[in-house]
């Protein structure tokens, strides 16, 4: 099994290997993006206030996913490196410690959902119905979030061992279940009562639970590169700290994104209107169609770079980075074209009013200008993580969103023109790309082979 893996990760041509590793993940990420958009599509059929309530809950939902993915990133990188070093026992222990961390994180978020949902909603709006829907949606997503934590960690175990197709199956099944159940719980079908916004959350968590079960089964019966043993589930503090050392910067980067979304919601709500908040929420769901494939590409790159780091093969690392940047830029250019040419049809999918169309058209066209820059930055950040320099990605995220984007958005909001606020995104992305280029050169120079 190890010889077979080595022939794939260490010998296959980089283009063939990257496509083999990434395309299934990109497809599964697109399915993930699809069910996010389907969620919003069905919620938008209720009313604009429902879209606003889900948008206000989005930062906390993003934070939850950030922690789950961060644990998965740390586990993935360490597991791939151990396999590259032919350290089977270390790989087995890393896999189980990743599962331990995922379940521990779920317990924390369940408590937050149980006791913090009402307060989180109240901080963002004084509209009682919107706050109530936001709190109900958030409470279900957080208290039942063990599905997403388990699903993500099992996906990463499959990815780290080169089984991207099986990872795609895990996420794809969960997404399909969510899409089917959305109208059932939101509007009341099959004899069930209509649950409105809360129904969207119920459909989401059921889909995640199904995906988690599929991921567990695939790892137990199809992933022979690792062995999941209960004796490795006992906390091993050195391994846990190593996973967190790589994963925490990823968590922090995505958490900063959640904080950015929270701040943007406040700026748009307090300075402009709930319609502007809804536009921002719809944009974030649609942009996932562009960004998710790039994230899938990156998830395919990480084990390749990490494995060849363990195997001390610098040329393959550099070739993977270059090819990944080319593919990411191409995907982002397609996204740019879509949002520039078709903003109105996209907004009409969500029952957009004339006011929403006016605000949204400008928002889509301005924000999407940063897409080509963002594609390259995302690839570089993932490479830094795979090479064990996760803090560089954190520095980039802090610079982009906390130092530049939020302050610039607030300053531009003082003009009283909501369209001016959207320019904060291209400005911040230009700063991000400059930092990424600097850090990538430094990382490659540090490689001593």
Question: Where does residue 226 fall: left (phi above 0), alpha (psi -120 to 50 degrees), or beta otherwise?
Answer: beta
| Helix (H), strand (E) at residue 213 | helix 197-222
pLDDT tens-digit readout, 203-216: 989 998 998 999 88
Residues 6 or more apart whose CB falls under 8 angstroms from that of 290 comprise 331, 332, 334, 335, 338, 339, 371
How many other CB atoms sit within 10 Å of the CB of residue 38? Answer: 19
Short-list 119, 153, 162, CA closest to 138: 119
182-203 average pLDDT score: 87
Question: Where does residue 398 fall: left (phi above 0), alpha (psi -120 to 50 degrees), or beta otherwise?
Answer: alpha
Judging by beta carbons within 10 Å of its beta carbon (0-12, 13-18, 19+), is residue 322 exposed, middle or buried? exposed
Residue 448 forms part of a structural domain:
no
pLDDT tens-digit readout, 271-311: 888 889 889 988 988 888 888 888 888 878 877 887 777 77
Instruction: Report pLDDT for 449.
Output: 54
Q: What are phi and psi of 433, to 5 degrees?
A: -65, -40
Name the residue range of residue 274's domain. Answer: 2-442
CA distance 420 to 412: 6
pLDDT tens-digit readout, 23-48: 877 877 787 777 677 777 888 888 88
Residue 89 forms part of a structural domain:
yes
pLDDT band per the 50, 70, 90 thresholds, residue 164: low
Helix or strand or coil: residue 233? coil
- Tally of structural domains, the chain: 1
Q: Per-residue pLDDT for 368 more than 90?
A: yes
* Tally of residues, the chain: 449
pLDDT tens-digit readout, 403-442: 999 999 999 999 999 999 999 999 999 998 888 888 878 7
pTM beyond cutoff 0.85: no
Residue 402 forms part of a structural domain:
yes
pLDDT tens-digit readout, 378-403: 888 877 777 777 677 778 878 888 89
Q: Per-residue pLDDT for 2 more than 50?
A: no
Residue 327 forms part of a structural domain:
yes
pLDDT band per the 50, 70, 90 thresholds, residue 1: very low
Residue 181 forms part of a structural domain:
yes
Residue 447 forms part of a structural domain:
no
CA distance 358 to 350: 14
Residue 449 forms part of a structural domain:
no
Question: Where does residue 381 fall: left (phi above 0), alpha (psi -120 to 50 degrees), or beta otherwise?
Answer: alpha
Residue 303 forms part of a structural domain:
yes
Instruction: Report pLDDT for 316.
Output: 84
Q: What is the average pLDDT score of the chain?
A: 84
**Residue/partner pairs of 440-446 with CB below 8 Å, 24 or more apart:** 440/321, 440/380, 440/383, 440/384, 442/392, 443/383, 443/384, 443/387, 443/389, 443/392, 444/318, 446/389
């Amino acid at each position: 099994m190890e010889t077979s893996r080595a022939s794939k990760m260490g010998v296959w041509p980089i283009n063939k290997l990257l496509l083999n590793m990434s395309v299934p993940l990109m497809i599964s990420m697109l399915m993930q993006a699809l069910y996010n958009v389907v969620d919003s599509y069905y919620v938008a059929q209720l009313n604009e206030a429902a879209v606003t309530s889900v948008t206000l809950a989005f930062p906390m939902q993003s934070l939850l996913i950030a922690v789950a993915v961060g644990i998965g990133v740390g586990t993935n990188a360490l597991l791939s490196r151990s396999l590259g070093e032919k350290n089977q026992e270390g790989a087995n222990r890393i896999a189980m410690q990743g599962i331990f961390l995922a379940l521990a994180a779920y317990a924390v978020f369940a408590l937050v959902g149980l006791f913090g949902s009402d307060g989180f909603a109240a901080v963002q709006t004084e509209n009682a119905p919107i706050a109530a829907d936001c709190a109900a949606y958030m409470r279900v997503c957080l208290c039942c979030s063990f599905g997403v934590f388990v699903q993500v960690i099992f996906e990463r175990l499959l990815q780290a061992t080169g089984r991207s197709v099986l990872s795609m199956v895990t996420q794809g099944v969960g997404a399909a279940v969510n899409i089917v159940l959305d109208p059932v719980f939101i509007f009341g079908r099959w004899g069930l009562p209509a649950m409105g916004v809360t129904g969207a959350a119920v459909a989401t968590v059921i889909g995640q639970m199904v995906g988690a079960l599929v991921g567990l089964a695939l790892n137990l019966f199809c992933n022979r590169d690792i062995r999941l043993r209960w004796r490795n589930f006992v906390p091993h503090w050195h391994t846990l700290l190593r996973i967190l050392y790589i994963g925490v910067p990823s968590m922090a980067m995505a958490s900063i994104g959640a904080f950015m979304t929270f701040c943007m919601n406040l700026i748009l709500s307090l300075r402009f209107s709930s319609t502007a908040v809804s536009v921002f929420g719809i944009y974030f769901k649609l942009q996932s169609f562009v960004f998710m494939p790039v994230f899938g590409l990156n998830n395919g790159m990480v084990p390749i770079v990490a494995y060849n780091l363990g195997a001390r093969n610098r040329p393959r690392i550099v070739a993977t980075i270059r090819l990944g940047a080319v593919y990411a830029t191409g995907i982002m250019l397609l996204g740019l074209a879509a949002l520039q040419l078709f903003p109105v049809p996209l907004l009409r999918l969500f029952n957009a009013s004339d006011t929403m169309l006016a605000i949204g058209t400008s928002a889509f066209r301005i924000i999407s200008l940063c897409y080509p820059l963002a594609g390259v930055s995302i690839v570089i950040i993932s490479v830094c993580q795979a090479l064990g320099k996760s803090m560089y990605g954190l520095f980039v995220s802090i610079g982009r969103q906390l130092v530049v984007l939020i302050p610039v958005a607030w300053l531009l909001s003082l003009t009283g023109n909501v369209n001016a606020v959207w320019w904060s995104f291209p400005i911040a992305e230009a700063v991000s790309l400059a930092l990424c280029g600097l850090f990538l050169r430094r990382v490659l120079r540090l490689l001593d082979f």
